[in-house]
Amino acid sequence: MPTLSTNASSISTPGGLPEIPGGWTRQTIDLGWRTIELVQPATPDCFLDEPSVLEANRRDDYMPYWTYLWPASVPMARVLKTANWAPGTEVLELGSGIGLVGLAAKARGWQVTFSDYDETSLALCRVNAERNSLGAVETLRLDWRRPAERQFPVILGCEVIYEARSHEPLLTLLQAMLAPGGVCWIGDPGRSQAPRFYKLALDHGFQITTRDETGNQCAFPSGTKLQILELRREP
Which neighbouring-strand residues pair with 135? none
- For the segment 19-29, the average pLDDT, to the nearest whole number, is 94
In this prediction, residue 153 carries a pLDDT of 98
Which neighbouring-strand residues pair with 213? none
The predicted-structure confidence for 108-151, as pLDDT tens digits, reads as follows 999 999 999 999 999 999 999 999 999 999 999 999 999 999 99
Order of strands, edge to edge, in the sheet holding 90-94? 138-141, 111-116, 90-94, 152-158, 178-188, 227-232, 207-211, 217-218
58 vs 60: CA distance, rounded Å: 6
Distance of CA 164 to the CA centre of its chain: 17
Mean pLDDT of the chain: 92
In this prediction, residue 93 carries a pLDDT of 98
- For the segment 17-44, the average pLDDT, to the nearest whole number, is 95
Sequence-ordered list of residues with C-beta below 8 angstroms from that of 4, at least 6 positions apart, any chain = 25, 27, 40, 42, 43, 44, 69
Q: Show the DSSP H helices in 86-118 as ranges.
A: 100-107
Residue 234 reports pLDDT greater than 90: no
- For the segment 207-229, the average pLDDT, to the nearest whole number, is 95
| Per-residue pLDDT band at 201 (split at 50, 70, 90) | very high
| Per-residue pLDDT band at 58 (split at 50, 70, 90) | confident
The structural domains of the chain, ordered by start, are 66-232 (3.40.50.150)
| C-alpha Rg value of the chain to the nearest Å | 17
In this prediction, residue 48 carries a pLDDT of 80
Order of strands, edge to edge, in the sheet holding 9-11? 9-11, 24-30, 35-41
- DSSP assignment of 4-41: --TT-EEEPPPTT----TT-EEEEEEE-SS-EEEEEEE
| Per-residue pLDDT band at 13 (split at 50, 70, 90) | confident
Residue 2 reports pLDDT greater than 60: no
- For the segment 183-205, the average pLDDT, to the nearest whole number, is 97
In this prediction, residue 59 carries a pLDDT of 79
145 vs 44: CA distance, rounded Å: 25
Q: CB of 175 within 8 A of CB of 204? A: yes
What are the strands, taking DSSP E only, across the chain? 9-11, 24-30, 35-41, 90-94, 111-116, 138-141, 152-158, 178-188, 207-211, 217-218, 227-232
Residue 4 reports pLDDT greater than 50: no
Q: For helices 100-107 and 119-131, what crossing angle results, to 10°?
A: 40
In this prediction, residue 18 carries a pLDDT of 92
62 vs 73: CA distance, rounded Å: 21
Residue 1 reports pLDDT greater than 60: no
